[in-house]
Amino acid sequence: MNTMRRMLVQGVVRVLQSRANELKGELLVSDLPYQFERLWKVQLNLQSAGYSDVQAFLKAWPNKIEVNSSPKGDVVILAKKSA
């Protein structure tokens, strides 16, 4: 299960990196499953990693990704590197 968790979070990181490279804006948490499937051609299956909710999954990886509030809703971004 730990391997699946790491694979999924790395997949999310790649989604965010891809969006950054394409100069796309913030990614709403609600749009993450669609964008994940668009890039990887598989569903974002959180249950396989022991999570039932996308918010809990994202918050479990603060060193990789962050969830912030915006006027549009919660957005997921790459974690800022500590200096």
The number of helix segments (H) and strand segments (E) in the chain equals 3, 3
* 83 falls within a domain: no
Contacts of 30 (CB under 8 A, 6+ apart): 73, 74
Quick one: what percent of the chain has pLDDT higher than 90?
A: 86
The parent domain of residue 51 ranges over: 2-78
* CATH of residue 45: 3.30.420.610
pLDDT-derived band of residue 80, with 50, 70 and 90 as boundaries? confident
pLDDT in tens, 14-47: 999 999 999 998 899 999 999 999 999 999 999 9
User: How many distinct structural domains can be found in the chain?
Assistant: 1
pTM assigned to the model: 0.90
Radius of gyration (Cα) for the chain, nearest Å? 12
